[in-house]
Amino acid sequence: MMRRSCVHDATASPGYNERLLTGERLARMKACAEKASTTFPPAFVNKPQPEDEATTPEGDDALARGRWANERRKPAPRDSGSTGQIPAGFPTAAELDRELGGPDGYFTLCGLHYCNLFANPRMRVLFDTRDPDTAASAMARRGDHGKRIAATLLDECHGTRYFASLGRGFSGAFAVMGTHNKAKQCPMRPASQQRALPAGHRKANRRFTADQRDSWVGSHMMAAEECGASPAFVEKYGLWLAMTRQRNASSSNNFASPNPNRGRVSARLQSLYTGDSRPGDGVDYVRASRHLKARRWEKRDKVFGGPGPQAFTVVRWQPVGPANAELQALRDRPPPSVKRSKKRKLDDRAESPLPSSEPGDAESGESTADLFNELAARHAEDSAAAAAMAARLLRIATLVAAAGAFQTPARARAPTPRRATAVDADIDAALAVCRSAAATKGEDSDDVVAALLALEKGMRAAAKASPDVSARTVEQLDGCWRLVFTTGTIDTQKKVGKINYFPLKAVQTFDVARGRISNSILVGDFPLIRFFGDFEWLMDRRRVEFDFDQIALFNFGRIDLPKGGAAKIGASTGLGSENNVKMVEESKKPFFNWISADADIATARGGGGGIALWKRDLDYAMPE
């Protein structure tokens, strides 16, 4: 992947590049940038919206495109686990220059994407505009919605530093976590979408639906078309987005009840998703989306900019022709049931290869879905013949898919669930002791230390086996944490012995989205001293490196600290390690090597050698 250095401030980008774009293309991009800069999310309504709220043609178009991309995407490779993004397949710098006029045009594309989301009933229920960050426009000079996501993707895939120039923290990859959590918690979401998984589940939170996931991808594709990108660029971009969403599938789920008449979904999605049927019309849109390749399309031009020389045309593609017969066949005939029979021979095996364990993604040969599309298109000239052919081929596809389910283990590549190991048992036992200590302070100190050491060893092994442990840890780290137990730094242990259960009220906060950290000592709810600064999460080490640059005494205002000032105060008061002073003098930052973090407790080893246990504090307010 070509890496581009950051050559200008993202906040100063108008959304178009007059050097790379000229004439009608420049006029189009200027109008699109103006539209994105003046479009805001709808007003907040503090109640769940109806389940059957009317959809829009544009919203249905986005959903169909997203499903098309999801059916045809490649399996996502395993990445570092930091954000779920995979650089391979993202448009190159040369492609962005050619199609959009560089990163400036990509800012506008993402701004138009949010314009589409604001207007889509499926998606606008995710925007809680009581939060100033959410109430911002689709794209403005100060880095509202469009520039945030564009800067994040460019940084992840091209190695730029656009997000830092927005003044919102060092990395948009972490900001995404907080943004998604706010969207999942929005009170406007229909009641069925606000159901959380059972407490204790490692993914226990509210989820996005499969329709919302696919609409998000399709909205990007529509925005690229509106910017004037070529069909090849739009298709490649949509397939990449669908692939990265699959890699980050833990942020998506579908709450709809299983529908026995639904078509098969790709095997890699069956455990998390089932296709949502649009309410009211009874059409199976999961299977219908497979017909998009077989449908014929025509250009429908839409004029923007009003009459006169400033007007320009945006090309939109709409389906036409006999493809409607295919949809009618799907409406009229559900897939037939298939009974397994050892004696039954499938004569159609000679016509199409057996599917892989992921139907529609066979690595060699033509997939069943592609064969279905090709033959249906070949016979689509006669509507009656098309309906009959669609029904016949649907039976063939169902039988072949069923046969694929009975392949020998050598042919099947379905993923095997991870088995519980002795390491998992050790981790669970250690966490049980730590949770009890955090809740009651009644566990013996030596038992707590032993549990912390066992947990540290177990999590180190788990992190080596699963690369997403670090990403899950920092996602859970967001919030307020009260120190419960600490062995103290090595220096403190030499002076006063082990501290164990911490006698004071000390609260540490992490604003992961903004990369901000605070540390406070309180008497009751009254703050004695508070430190504020920035932190950075080192994904490969599960390490927080931080630097306090402000201090507040009692309830007075904040005072700026000189470099190393917080380390000196911490060392002199015993709240920090003397080693931190040495590290600052060597231009290094103090750090915590994080062991674990979940919904209830967190554990870490400090740079001074001490090990500590925190419990989540839901009553403490995050500092502004």
Residue 131 has pLDDT above 80, yes or no: yes
Residue 551: which of 582, 524, 573, 518 has the closest Cα?
518
Q: What is the mean pLDDT of residues 420-441?
A: 83
Q: Which residues contact 117 (CB under 8 A, 6 or more apart)?
A: 123, 124, 126, 127, 215, 216, 219
Residue 106 clears pLDDT 80, i.e. is over it: yes
Q: Which residue has the higher pLDDT, 348 or 108?
A: 108
**For the segment 494-507, what is each residue's pLDDT rounded down to a tens digit?**
555 556 788 888 99
The pLDDT value recorded for residue 246 is 60
- Reported pTM: 0.46
- Of 557, 536, 558, 556, the C-alpha closest to 546 is 536
Question: For residue 146, what are its two tokens?
Answer: 């469009």
> In whole angstroms, what is the distance from residue 13 CA to residue 141 CA?
7
Q: Flag the least confident range among 51-55, 60-64, 132-136.
A: 51-55
Using the predicted structure, report yes or no on whether residue 474 has a pLDDT greater than 50.
yes
Task: Kindly indicate whether the domain formed by 468-616 is annotated with CATH number 3.40.630.30.
Answer: no
Average confidence score pLDDT of the chain: 70
The SS3 call for residue 297 is strand
Q: What percent of the chain has pLDDT over 70?
A: 59
* pLDDT score of 218: 94
Q: According to the model, what pLDDT value does residue 454 have?
A: 92
CA atoms of 130 and 133, how far apart (whole Å): 9
Contact 543, 591 (CB under 8 A): yes
Range of weakest confidence among 40-54, 329-343, 579-593: 329-343
State the pLDDT confidence band at 207, using cuts at 50, 70 and 90: confident
- Band of the pLDDT at 594, cuts 50, 70, 90? very high
Region 295-305: mean pLDDT is: 41
Count of CA atoms in the C-beta half-sphere (13 A) of 572: 6
Cα→Cα distances 460→12, 78, 267, Å:
44, 20, 32
Two tokens at 83?
């954000």
Strand partners, 611: 605
> How far apart, in Å, are the Cα atoms of 59 and each of 43, 149, 168, 258, 603?
19, 20, 31, 23, 44
CA 605 to chain centre: 29
C-alpha span between 227 and 624 (Å, rounded): 37
- Of 228, 3, 224, 26, the residue nearest 93 (C-alpha): 3
Q: What's residue 164's pLDDT?
A: 80
Residue 160 has pLDDT above 60, yes or no: yes
Give residue 118's identity as a one-letter amino acid code.
F
Average pLDDT over residues 96-105: 92
Is the pLDDT reported for residue 552 higher than 50?
A: yes
Indicate where the chain has its CATH 2.40.128.280 domain(s). 468-616
- CA 431, distance to chain mean position in Å, is 28
- Confidence at residue 390, expressed as pLDDT on a 0 to 100 scale: 46
314-364 pLDDT, tens digit per residue, is 433 344 444 445 445 544 544 444 344 434 433 443 333 333 333 333 333
CB atoms within 10 A of CB 566: 26
SS3 call for 460: helix
pLDDT at 324: 47
Q: How far apart (Å, rounded) are the C-alpha atoms in residues 67 and 213? A: 9
Residues, the chain, total?
624
**Mean pLDDT lowest among 194-203, 315-324, 423-432:** 315-324
pLDDT of residue 141 exceeding 90: no
User: What per-residue confidence (pLDDT) applies to 109?
Assistant: 94
pLDDT band of residue 108 (cuts 50, 70, 90) is very high
What are the backbone dihedrals phi and psi of residue 278, each rounded to the nearest 5 degrees, phi first? -70, 135
Torsion angles phi and psi, residue 141, rounded to 5: -65, -25
DSSP string, 367-395: -HHHHHHHHHHHTTTSHHHHHHHHHHHHH
Q: Which of 79-93, 195-209, 278-292, 428-442 reaches the highest mean pLDDT? A: 428-442
Residue 604: strand pairing partners: 594, 612
Q: What is the pLDDT of residue 196?
A: 60
